[in-house]
C-alpha cells in the first residue's frame, strides 16, 4: 500500500523536504532505442492525426491493428476495436521488429510528432486524481533495458501536464471506440481510420504544451 512507508525512507523525505521520486526528474535518455524495438506502441486518434499531419503520410503507412493473440489486454479493455470478423488494438507498425519511425541510427524520425505515450516514457506517473491534481508518485517503467543517465532536467509541471493530457486524450479515444463498436455495418480497419480523421474535424482544438 502507498500509505505504508519504511521509517528510514520517511525520515529521509522529511529531512530533505522532497519526495524520493523527485530524483527521477533528472532522467536523461541516452538514445539506445530499446523502448522502440519489439514493443507495441498503442496510439490514440489524436496521436495518429498528429503524426499524419506532421509527417504528411497516409495513416495506413504507419498504423496497424494488433490481434487478440498478440496482446495481453483483457477482452473488455476499452481500446479493443470491433471489426466485422475480429477485433484489434491500434498500434504503430514495425519494420524489422522495430518501430516504423526508428532509423538505422536508433533515432526517431517522427520525434516532433511522436505519441504522448512516447513523450512520457519511461515515467509511470500516479496523480492525486485520474486526470487532475498533482503528482503523487513517479516510477520508471521496466519494459526494456534502459541505460539512462541522471543528469537531465524535467520538471513536475512538465510531467504532470503530459500525464493529465494523456488521460484526457485516452478517455476521448475510448469514447470514440465505444461509438464505433455500436455500429452494425461497415466495420473495417479502413473505415475506422476514416473515422479517426473525421473525429479530428469535430473534436480537435489547439492544445499547447511545453512538454517534450
- Say if 95 falls within a structural domain: yes
Q: Is residue 137 part of a domain?
A: yes
Return the beta strands (E) in 2-86 as ranges. Answer: 63-66, 81-82
User: Residue 211 falls within a domain, yes or no?
Assistant: no
Look at residue 17 in the predicted model and tell me its pLDDT: 62
Residue 10 belongs to some domain of the structure: no
How many other CB atoms are there within 10 angstroms of residue 69's CB atom? 5
Task: Give me the pLDDT at residue 200, please.
Answer: 84
59 in any annotated domain: yes
pLDDT at residue 6, rounded to an integer: 27
Note whether residue 51 is domain-resident: yes
Tell me the three state secondary structure of residue 103: coil
Cα separation, 195 vs 182, whole angstroms: 14
Identify the sign of the CA torsion 21, 166, 179, 41.
negative
Per the structure, the complete domain to which residue 76 belongs is given by 22-201
Q: For residue range 42-101, what is the model confidence (pLDDT) as tens digits?
A: 999 999 999 999 999 999 999 999 999 898 888 889 999 999 999 999 999 999 999 999
Number of domains in the chain: 1
Question: Is 14 a domain residue?
Answer: no
CB contact at 8 A, 77 and 139: no
In the chain, which residues have pLDDT < 50? Answer: 1-15, 204-212
- Domain contains 131: yes
Can you give the pTM of this predicted structure? 0.83
Q: What is the DSSP letter of 5?
A: -
What cell numbers appear for 20 in the block?
Answer: 524520493
C-alpha span between 209 and 45 (Å, rounded)? 18
Query: Residue 12: what pLDDT?
Result: 38
Amino acid at each position: 500500500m502507498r500509505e505504508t512507508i519504511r521509517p528510514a525512507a520517511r525520515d529521509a523525505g522529511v529531512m530533505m523536504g522532497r519526495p524520493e521520486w523527485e530524483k527521477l526528474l533528472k532522467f536523461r535518455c541516452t538514445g539506445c532505442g530499446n523502448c522502440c524495438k519489439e514493443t507495441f506502441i498503442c496510439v490514440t486518434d489524436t496521436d495518429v492525426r498528429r503524426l499524419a499531419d506532421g509527417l504528411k503520410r497516409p495513416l495506413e503507412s504507419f498504423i496497424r491493428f494488433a490481434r487478440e493473440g498478440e496482446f495481453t489486454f483483457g477482452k473488455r479493455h476499452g481500446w479493443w476495436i470491433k471489426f466485422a470478423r475480429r477485433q484489434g488494438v491500434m498500434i504503430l507498425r514495425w519494420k524489422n521488429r522495430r518501430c516504423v519511425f526508428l532509423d538505422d541510427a536508433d533515432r526517431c524520425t517522427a520525434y516532433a510528432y511522436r505519441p504522448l505515450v512516447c513523450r512520457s516514457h519511461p515515467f509511470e506517473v500516479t496523480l492525486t486524481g485520474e486526470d487532475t491534481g498533482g503528482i503523487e508518485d513517479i516510477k520508471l517503467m521496466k519494459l526494456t533495458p534502459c541505460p539512462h543517465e541522471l543528469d537531465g532536467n524535467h520538471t513536475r509541471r512538465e510531467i504532470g501536464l503530459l500525464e493529465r493530457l494523456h488521460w484526457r486524450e485516452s478517455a476521448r479515444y475510448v469514447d470514440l471506440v465505444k461509438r464505433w463498436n455500436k455500429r452494425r455495418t461497415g466495420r473495417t480497419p479502413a473505415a475506422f481510420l476514416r473515422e479517426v480523421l473525421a473525429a479530428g474535424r469535430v473534436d480537435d482544438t489547439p492544445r499547447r504544451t511545453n512538454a517534450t
